[in-house]
Amino acid sequence: MKPKVIRYLDKGEFPIGEGEALALYRAMRRARFFDEKALLLQRQGRLGVYAPFMGQEAAQVGVALALGEKDFVVPSYRESAMLLARGLPIHTLILYWRAHPAGWRFPEGVRAVNPYIPIATQIPQAVGLALAGRYRGEGWVVATSIGDGGTSEGDFHEGLNFAAVFDAPVVFLVQNNGYAISVPRHRQMRVDYIARRAEGYGIPGVVVDGNDAFAVYLEAKKVVERARRGEGPTLLEALTYRLAPHTTSDDPSRYRTREEEEAWRAKDPILRLRKALEERGLWGVEAEEALLGELEEEFAREVALADQAPEPTPEMMVEHVYAQMGPDQRRAWEALRQGKHVEELW
């Protein structure tokens, strides 16, 4: 039996408060704005390789906004929208994608950790972080995210099994966008819905239309509360699609068709939510223009801030390897600071 895919949009349903709906829309639109600008910056050589998330805003923002203030997100490289929705300043995110050290240290109070590059390795760590919250009586919930391809990794399995055994307060968001770089889901696994895997760990698995912000947000709220009550982890599968390339170095025309992309473009999560807001008289052309104006200003301000970050110095390479520099870092640090290489100090 096929799992039920939870969906509200395009059926004329409006199951959440108007304020919440607007907050979702604004956060998604802001994220999309960032994504488009980031791609431009990358083409100008003002960003390193970048992983766009365009098309997956509902999944990422829906989960981020379902969390409480003290909860954490443990993201992967594609979760910039999630980080923005959690309050990471845009200039920090830009610096992160510039691989500038100032972007590696997140500001105090942002309850998110740096994105992970190796696939699936964050999963068991998220479980540990969730348990730490329980030990310390803080009761925070951790939301961590992974792609469909990532669920083939051993760490995905180990992490979910650990979470289940320890009843860890974790929400595992799987953004099933159909591809792991070029490899389609059916060459990645033989299950139709990834949420089915949850049963193998003895935890609930839920499937939502990942391009339906209402569905993601409402289900995420439920499973976050479930975790907070001490009832354990949930696997939340969001069916979605990335409209852009895997990264700025990728060429998706080699592995998917224009028709497929166009079909998904029609299901753009931002357009769908906007339509629902408009039908209810909550949004219109003017509101959209005002928002875009605000975003334009904010972005310009934040890029300027990022551009002001001082050039990284070579000795930064050997800083923060240990809490206190060991003799080997110390010697290298001295050399680099004097504009030398360590061999020149002998």
Partner 1 sequence: MVAEKARVLNLVQAINEALDLALARDERVLVFGEDVGRLGGVFRVTEGLQAKYGEGRVFDTPLAESGILGLAIGLAMGGMRPVAEIQFAGFLYPALDQILSHLGRWRHRSRGWVGLPVVVRAPYGGGVHTPEQHADSPEALLAHTPGIKVVIPSSPERAKGLLLAAIEDEDPVFFLEAIKLYRGVRAEVPEGYYTLPLGRARVVREGKHATLIGYGGMVEVMLEAATVAAKEGVQVMVVDLETLVPLDEDTLLEVVRETGRAVVVYEAMRTGGFGAEIAARIAEGAIDHLQAPVVRVAGYDAPYPPFSAIEHHYRPNARRVLAALRRVLTY
Ligand X SMILES: Cc1ncc(C[n+]2csc(CCOP(=O)(O)OP(=O)(O)O)c2C)c(N)n1
**φ, ψ at 142 (rounded to 5°):** -115, 130
Residues numbered 289-328 forming contacts with partner 1, rule: CB under 8 A: 319-324, 326-328
Q: State the binding string over 48-77 for partner 1 (x if CB under 8 A, else -).
A: ------------------------------
Q: Is 123 in the site for partner 1 (CB under 8 A)?
A: yes
336 binds, among ligand X, partner 1, none (CB under 5 to 8 A by kind): none
**285-308 and 90-97 are packed helices; what angle lies between their axes, rounded to 10 degrees?**
60
Choose among 35, 33, 34, 30: nearest CA to 247.
35
Question: Can 246 be counted among the known catalytic residues?
Answer: yes
Q: Is 255 in the site for partner 1 (CB under 8 A)?
A: no
Q: Is 161 in the site for partner 1 (CB under 8 A)?
A: yes
Q: Is 15 in the site for partner 1 (CB under 8 A)?
A: no
Give the whole-angstrom CA distance, residue 127 versus residue 170: 7
Provide the Cα torsion 3, 25, 185, 198; round to 10°: -40
Residues numbered 246-265 forming contacts with ligand X, rule: CB under 6 A: 246
Sheet containing strand 72-74, strands side by side: 5-6, 205-209, 234-239, 170-176, 142-147, 72-74
247 to 39, 184, 298: CA distances (angstroms) = 10, 16, 25
**φ, ψ at 334 (rounded to 5°):** -60, -45
Structure tokens at 77: 């490289």
Residues numbered 141-160 forming contacts with ligand X, rule: CB under 6 A: 147-150
Question: Can 255 be counted among the known catalytic residues?
Answer: yes
Question: Can 186 be counted among the known catalytic residues?
Answer: no
Q: State the binding string over 178-207 for ligand X (x if CB under 6 A, else -).
A: -xxx--------------------------
Q: Which of 43, 255, 320, 337 is catalytic?
A: 255
Applying CB under 8 A, among 15, 118, 293, 339 the residue interacting with partner 1 is 118
Q: Is 167 in the site for partner 1 (CB under 8 A)?
A: no
Shortest Å distance, C-beta 90 to partner 1 = 19
Q: Which of 91, 100, 185, 246 is catalytic?
A: 246
Site size for partner 1 (CB under 8 A): 39
Give the whole-angstrom CA distance, residue 35 versus residue 270: 13
Applying CB under 6 A, among 113, 119, 126, 215 the residue interacting with ligand X is 119
How many other β-carbons are positioned within 10 Å of the β-carbon of residue 189?
A: 15
Shortest Å distance, C-beta 159 to partner 1 = 6
Q: Is 117 in the site for ligand X (CB under 6 A)?
A: yes
Give the whole-angstrom CA distance, residue 262 versus residue 212: 18
Q: Give the three-class secondary structure for 7.
A: coil
Choose among 95, 278, 297: nearest CA to 83.
95
Site for ligand X, rule CB under 6 A: 78, 117-119, 147-150, 175, 177, 179-181, 246
Site for partner 1, rule CB under 8 A: 101-102, 104-106, 113-114, 118, 121, 123-133, 135-136, 154-155, 158-159, 161-162, 165, 319-324, 326-328, 346
Catalytic annotation, residues: 242, 246, 255
